[in-house]
Amino acid sequence: MLVTEQDALRQEIKAWGDMYGRDRTALIPILQEIQRKHARISEYAMQIVADMLDIHPVEVYGVVSFYSFLDHKPKGRFVIRLCRTISCDMHDKDRVARQLQNDLGIRFGETTPDGRFTLEWANCIGMCDQGPALLVNDHVFTRVTPDKVHDILEGCRRAMGVHAQEQMQEHLV
């Protein structure tokens, strides 16, 4: 990590500390912000958080490793989580799973080499009346059929294109 990136991360975490406080109850909200922004929580980030909240980094690691939405390892820009629980399972989630693997060229638990997509299983996401269901980051897709997988992925790619453009424009002004 570049020194400037380290500084930027430190500043960000301090700002979240100002927002959520500097006691232990602020730990998870701060980690959630880091995860959202950086798609992972690096060792360096854990160290900064630990220093700021005055707890041992192992405590921070213990929390990160417990929750399935907090990750130490880098994830893709889009995390796709397909529900594998009973109602979705009964509605052919296996076929959707297969198509996701085919279209992304990765298996569950993996991230595409370009860092765009991570494919994971989820447990029941509360859409059981509309299975198979999946989450793309915070967004829900229901009654997914194998032929819809392509559209969902294209939607992500388009969103990313728009996002990249926005970022470029921000730099221009």
Partner 1 sequence: MSATQNKTGGMHPTTTGPLSFGSVKPNQGLQNAAKKSRADIIGELSASGMKGRGGAGFPTGVKWNLAAAAQDSTKYIICNADEGEPGTFKDRVILSEYSDLVFEGMTIAGLAIGARQGIVYLRGEYSYLRPLLEAVLERRRTQELLGDNILGREGFSFDIAIRMGSGAYVCGEETALIESLEGQRGEPRNRPPFPVDTGYMGHPTVVNNVETLAWAACILAKGAAWFKGIGTDKSTGLKLFSISGDCERPGVYEFPMGISIAELLREVGGEDAKAVQVGGASGHCVPAKCFARTLAYEDIPTGGSIIVLGPGRDMLGIARNFLEFFVEESCGQCTPCRAGTVKLLEGVELLQEGKCSMKYLRELCALGETMQLASKCGLGQSSPNAFLSIVKEFQDEIMGRTDLAAAGKE
Q: Which parts of this chain interact with partner 1 (CB under 8 A)?
A: 23-29, 31-32, 62-63, 66-70, 84-87, 89-90, 122-131, 135, 138-144, 152, 155
Contact partner at residue 29 from partner 1, ligand FES, none, CB < 5 to 8 Å by partner kind:
partner 1
Q: Which residues contact 96 (CB under 8 A, 6 or more apart)?
A: 82, 132, 134, 144, 145, 146, 149
How far CA 50 is from CA of 9, 11, 25, 136, in Å, comes to 14, 14, 13, 30
Contact partner at residue 34 from ligand FES, partner 1, none, CB < 5 to 8 Å by partner kind:
none
Segment interacting with ligand FES, rule: CB under 6 A, options 60-68, 71-79, 123-131, 143-151: 123-131
- Which amino acid, one-letter code, is at 65? S
Report the C-alpha dihedral over residues 107, 64, 9, 54, rounded to 10 degrees: -170
Our finding on whether 131 is near ligand FES (CB under 6 A) is: yes
Q: How many residues are given for the chain?
A: 173
Segment interacting with ligand FES, rule: CB under 6 A, options 18-26, 59-67, 125-133, 146-154: 125-133
Our finding on whether 80 is near ligand FES (CB under 6 A) is: no
> Which residue number, 114 or 129, has a Cβ lying nearer to partner 1?
129
Question: What is the Cα–Cα distance from 85 to 122, expressed in whole angstroms?
Answer: 8
DSSP state of 123: S
* Smallest separation (angstroms) from partner 1 to the CB of 48: 16
DSSP state of 24: G
Residue from the set 28, 50, 70, 124 that interacts with ligand FES by CB under 6 A: 124
Residue numbers at the binding site for ligand FES (CB under 6 A): 83, 85-88, 124-128, 131, 133
